[in-house]
Amino acid sequence: MSLIDRFCGGLRAGGALPTMLLFFAGMFLLSQVSIAVVLEPVGLSQVLMLQTTLSTETFRLLAADLYQRGVAESYLAHYYYDFLHPLWYSTLLALLLAAAMNRAGLSAGSNRWLLLPFVAGLLDLVENSAHIYMLVDTARISPFWVLLGNGAALLKWTLLGATLVAVLVLFARPGHNR
């Protein structure tokens, strides 16, 4: 049995433990609230536009606005929390998917789907790294870096959304544990 298969098997077992789910839900919530508090001066719409635009010019204008409004420091400070945040939400979502898979009676052959939230978490780290690289020195803002960082962000959101849909569908369907 490979290390990946053992890891996914551990997630399946962990998905059956309410204490694991509660721990990671609590850590996710604490992390999310911490990020929201730090980003509050920036504004949610500004954050979302900065993290999702594929336009270099729009990214450049949004970055300039951060510095003009004096909130660039707040935006950069959120990364103290955001580099750990993927660990919390990836694990929580993988455990929720594992619990849904357990409830639906899916075989161990489907366990590798549990890796999707972690791929999303790695994409989040790519996004964070690209943004820091560009925002610490705005002369570095380029089509490559915007596409790398925000392409990773958009793919991250797609994977997280698909995983959440899978959790909801699996919990909604009749399973072995009803």
Question: 77-134: per-residue pLDDT in tens?
Answer: 999 999 999 999 999 999 999 999 999 999 999 999 999 999 999 999 999 999 999 9
Reply yes or no on whether the pLDDT at 30 is more than 70. yes
Burial class (CB in 10 A: 0-12, 13-18, 19+), 136: exposed
Which percentage of the chain shows pLDDT scores above 70? 98
Per-chain mean pLDDT for the chain: 94
Can you read off the two tokens belonging to residue 61?
Answer: 């204008």
pTM of the model: 0.92
The contacts of residue 97 (CB under 8 Å, 6+ apart) are: 15, 113, 114, 116, 117, 163, 166, 167, 170
* pLDDT number for residue 178: 47
Reply yes or no on whether the pLDDT at 1 is more than 90. no
